[in-house]
Amino acid sequence: MNLDGAATTPAWCQGTGTVLSGPWSAETGAAPALDAASAARVAMSRAGALPRDAVDALVIGQVLAVLVSP
């Protein structure tokens, strides 16, 4: 596998692909880099429909329980 933008076949891919040497879009660089805890918090705050229903609350509660378990 090359990481210089050359064609490659990664072990986890079922075909050929291209590994990019930089962001594929200018907007990609505009996204803030977050640590894992912050990224999880942002993802959970944007999950589900608004207003949240009982299914959303169940799924979010289960994910948060896994995230905070030792």
The token pair that represents 3 in the structure block: 């990481």
The pTM assigned to this predicted structure is: 0.46
pLDDT at 13: 61
The residue range of the domain holding 19 is 1-31
Give average pLDDT by consecutive 10-residue segment, the chain, 70 residues.
Answer: 52 66 79 82 83 88 78
Q: Is residue 27 located within the same domain as residue 43?
A: no
Q: Are 43 and 60 in contact (CB under 8 A)?
A: no
Q: How many domains does the chain have?
A: 2
pLDDT at 8: 58
Tell me the C-alpha distance between 27 and 50, whole Å: 26
pLDDT at 12: 62
Q: Which residues contact 23 (CB under 8 A, 6 or more apart)?
A: 29
Q: Is residue 27 located within the same domain as residue 37?
A: no
Q: Is residue 9 located within the same domain as residue 39?
A: no
Q: Is residue 13 located within the same domain as residue 41?
A: no
pLDDT at 68: 73
